């Protein structure tokens, strides 16, 4: 089994509809650790040695966060800036993370339609996530497609439920090595994998 570390960042969890629901079952899942960065580091004073130890103990890292200004909440950047050290994660002798996997699990106010050349946001989510992808590449990690919840402002509770089931199935699939590289390399979003039985979707 693969060990999954969720680096969770939501600066206003009390107002959240999507992420509050997505993380609900996570604590019960075998081999999945939820690490709530804003809860652990309210002053953003990240413990680098502890974070590096956590990374070494896991195989798959998921940065789970709302999409804020086409990127992540600030603590994710702080985490990257401090934890991914030269000589440890990249650069000469920096091979600590080699062959681990990493991905983003995000929610966006915007619909999928507005994230393309003709849409209001002009770029696809895949394009906007390139800094994460390239950071992964430099640190010798495999970057998986993101899990994306679109159009959050218009989602009704049953829609969020469906995404939550999809997310849970993805976590179970990844932990059990049931999602192969051949499969995820063919999709833009992890959601596009056939994660839940059709019967649940109707
Ligand atoms: C500071 C801020 C920046 C945001 N930036 C974006 C953005 O760039 N693109 C987008 O689609 N939605 C954006 N949103 C909307 C959030 O992504 C959306 O409210 C969130 O994903 C909903 O998840 P939640 O219910 O867990 O809070 C932004 C919201 C806030 C508060």
CA distance 113 to 77: 27
Domain boundaries, the chain: 4-201
How large is the average pLDDT for residues 13-38? 96
For residue 202, pLDDT beyond 60: no
Report residue 27's pLDDT band, with 50, 70 and 90 as the boundaries: confident
User: In this structure, are residues 110 and 121 in contact, taking their beta carbons and an 8 Å threshold?
Assistant: yes
Q: Could you tell me the two tokens for 93?
A: 């002798």
How large is the average pLDDT for residues 5-20? 98
Predicted confidence (pLDDT) per residue in 132-160, tens digit: 999 999 999 999 999 999 999 999 999 99
Determine which residue's CA is closest to atom 6 belonging to ligand 1: 68
Predicted confidence (pLDDT) per residue in 104-125, tens digit: 999 999 999 999 999 999 999 9
Report the pLDDT value the prediction gives residue 195, as an integer from 0 to 100: 76
How large is the average pLDDT for residues 69-77? 98
- CA 110 / ligand 1 centre spacing (Å): 8
- CA 15 / ligand 1 centre spacing (Å): 11
- CA 53 / ligand 1 centre spacing (Å): 31
Ligand 1 pocket residue status of 21, Cβ below 6 Å: no
Ligand 1 pocket residue status of 154, Cβ below 6 Å: no
Predicted confidence (pLDDT) per residue in 177-200, tens digit: 999 999 999 999 999 998 776 555
For residue 60, pLDDT beyond 90: yes
The burial of 14, by beta-carbon neighbours within 10 Å (0-12 exposed, 13-18 middle, 19 or more buried), is given as exposed
Report the pLDDT value the prediction gives residue 194, as an integer from 0 to 100: 81
CATH class of 4-201: alpha beta
Kindly report the CA angle at 14 between 10 and 16, in degrees rounded to 5? 60
Q: Which of 139, 113, 105 is nearest to 7 (CA)?
A: 105
- CA 156 / ligand 1 centre spacing (Å): 16
Report CA 11 to chain centroid distance, whole Å: 16
Report the pLDDT value the prediction gives residue 200, as an integer from 0 to 100: 54
User: From the alpha carbon of 66, which atom of ligand 1 is closest?
Assistant: 21
């Amino acid at each position: 089994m693969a060990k999954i570390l969720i680096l969770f960042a939501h600066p206003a969890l009390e107002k959240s509809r999507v992420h509050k629901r997505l993380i609900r079952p996570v604590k019960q899942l075998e081999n999945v650790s939820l690490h709530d960065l804003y809860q652990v580091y309210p002053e953003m004073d990240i413990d680098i040695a502890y974070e590096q130890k956590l990374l070494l103990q896991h195989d798959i890292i998921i940065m789970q966060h709302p999409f804020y200004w086409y990127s992540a909440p600030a603590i994710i950047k702080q985490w990257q800036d401090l934890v991914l050290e030269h000589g440890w994660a990249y650069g000469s002798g920096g091979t600590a993370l080699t062959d681990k996997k990493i991905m983003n699990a995000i929610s966006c106010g915007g619909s999928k339609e507005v994230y393309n050349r003709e849409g209001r946001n002009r770029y696809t989510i895949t394009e906007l996530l390139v800094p994460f992808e390239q950071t992964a590449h430099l640190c010798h990690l495999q970057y998986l497609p993101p899990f994306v919840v679109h159009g959050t402002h218009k989602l009704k509770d049953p829609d969020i439920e469906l995404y939550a089931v999809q997310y849970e199935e993805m976590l179970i699939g990844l932990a059990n090595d049931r999602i192969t590289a051949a499969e995820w390399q063919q999709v833009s979003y992890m959601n596009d994998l056939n994660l839940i039985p059709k019967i649940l979707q109707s």
